[in-house]
Homo-oligomer: A and B are copies of this chain.
Amino acid sequence: MSARSISFRQFVLGMLAQQPMSGYDIKRRLKNLAWLIGDMSFGSLYPALHALLNDGLVTVSVTASRDKPPRKVYSVSEAGKTALEEWANQSELSNTSLKGFVMRLNMASTLSQPALVRQLKQRREQVSAHHTTIQQQLDALDNETDLGRHLVMSYGLTLASAELAWLDEALARLAQPPLAVEGRTNHRVS
């Protein structure tokens, strides 16, 4: 209920909005994202799924097959879609961590395009601010400064720069839309 604590369930809901899946499927996807946002265990995933079901935000359909164990495939319900959009469209995205941003990015499709652009711009401002802050702090360090602190700052600066570049490119791609539909031809970012 308390806006913050929901976020994990909301994230799972966002996953299901991308595509109906089983808990095990979600876990697999999560594993791929683990290096960015950290892993999560079945012990929290399954209960989260049950909670979503309990709240009527998702529906289940058990798929039994004779050679594989039965799977419970979850789909987002109408109520779930409403809840998701409501949450995703909160224009004021608070100063989130990288993890929080990835979680939000992951549900981009539940946003209208202008809303998405707005959020990316907000993120850009935040990261830009971090970038200048780190740069200043880095310049202010004397050479007796702890190596770890130094490395973390340098690392942070690099990531901030990269993220800014990515945001700029993403925004540019969204700015002049070739009216979509056929526009997403080449998403190579490298």
Contact = CB atoms under 8 A, between A and B. Distances in A.
Interface string A149-178: 111101111110111011000100000000
Nearest to A167: B155
Nearest to A134: B32
Copies in the complex: 2
Given A146-B109, A148-B107, A170-B151, A133 B32 contact: yes
Interface residues of A, number: 62
Nearest to A99: B38
Interface in A91-136: 95-100, 102, 105-110, 126-127, 130-131, 133-135
A157 B189 contact: yes
A150 B99 contact: no
Contact of A155 (B39, B105, B143): B105
A152 B18 CA distance: 12
A161 B159 contact: no
A14 B127 CA distance: 26
A110 B149 CA distance: 12
A53 interface: no
